[in-house]
Amino acid sequence: AQTVTQSQPEMSVQEAETVTLSCTYDTSESDYYLFWYKQPPSRQMILVIRQEAYKQQNATENRFSVNFQKAAKSFSLKISDSQLGDAAMYFCAYRRHFIIQGAQKLVFGQGTRLTINP
Amino acid sequence: DTGVSQDPRHKITKRGQNVTFRCDPISEHNRLYWYRQTLGQGPEFLTYFQNEAQLEKSRLLSDRFSAERPKGSFSTLEIQRTEQGDSAMYLCASSPMRESSGNTIYFGEGSWLTVV
């Protein structure tokens, strides 16, 4: 079974600075998807960024970028120019390739609570 | 696009009572998911529908839990004979079938259940 581990229960950063959230995962498969989701205090989970395992290039979405190290099974999220609105729980998630049985579910890590200090 | 809608948002019930949650997915999304999230933890997968067919169920889904999606649109999650351990937030999510969506799953705001 696949597992996702986020070893940082809490992180804090000064507004406008850069922060990196860590995520490691365990799988025996070679084709899969990785995601970072944000869950603000209102509790709705929002997709931040997505990475396909077959792509070597790291995904970027504006101030958000990932460092995907497939051999090390590591998938960290970097937030540049942190803003007060970035404060939330961040979850790393894994999903098997869509053609595989049971591919539809996301496997989540425990989450990292990010605080932005003004 | 109105997003995934869940009702009720909060429910307090006595142990042993039955509760039902409703989820309205984003229109035209064929896939619908239920997850459970307890405080301080990430969501855990419960079950998945493709149209009206329930294709996958987690072992977390005991016999007291039942989910339906009768017409392939909205879904209900019923918990019978609730126990205190059922207290959690129940998240519904949906996604389109087409691959071009990039497999993005959209979540609702969740339904909080407190069993007293």
Mutate to test the interface with B, among A3, A52, A104, A108 (most CBs of B within 10 A): A104
Closest CA to A52 of A88, A98, A6: A98
A57 inside 8 A of chain B by CB: no
CB-based contact A108 B108, cutoff 8 Å? no
For residue B2, the model assigns a pLDDT of 76
CB-based contact A111 B41, cutoff 8 Å? yes
Q: Which of B43, B58, B99 sits opposite A108 (nearest CB)?
A: B43
For residue A104, the model assigns a pLDDT of 75
Q: What is the mean pLDDT of residues B30-43?
A: 93
Give the model confidence (pLDDT) of A30-61 as tens digits.
889 999 999 998 778 999 999 999 888 999 99
Alpha carbon B26 to chain centroid, angstroms: 14
Q: What angle do CA A75, A110, A113 make, to 5 degrees?
A: 85
Mutate to test the interface with A, among B49, B107, B109 (most CBs of A within 10 A): B107
For residue A118, the model assigns a pLDDT of 93
Q: Which of A37, A44, A104 sits opposite B109 (nearest CB)?
A: A44
Please give the C-alpha separations between residue A54 and each of A58, B16, B96, in angstroms, as whole numbers: 11, 48, 22
Give the model confidence (pLDDT) of B69-109 as tens digits.
998 899 999 999 999 999 999 999 998 876 544 568 899 99
Partners of A93 on chain B (C-beta within 8 Å) are 42
CB-based contact B45 A42, cutoff 8 Å? no
CB-based contact B107 A45, cutoff 8 Å? yes
For residue A100, the model assigns a pLDDT of 63
Pairing type for strands A88-96 and A107-108 reads: antiparallel
Flag whether pLDDT at B25 surpasses 80.
yes
Q: Which residues of A57-87 are buried (b: 16+ CB within 10 A; e: fewer)?
A: eebeeeebbbebeeeebebbbbbeebeeebb
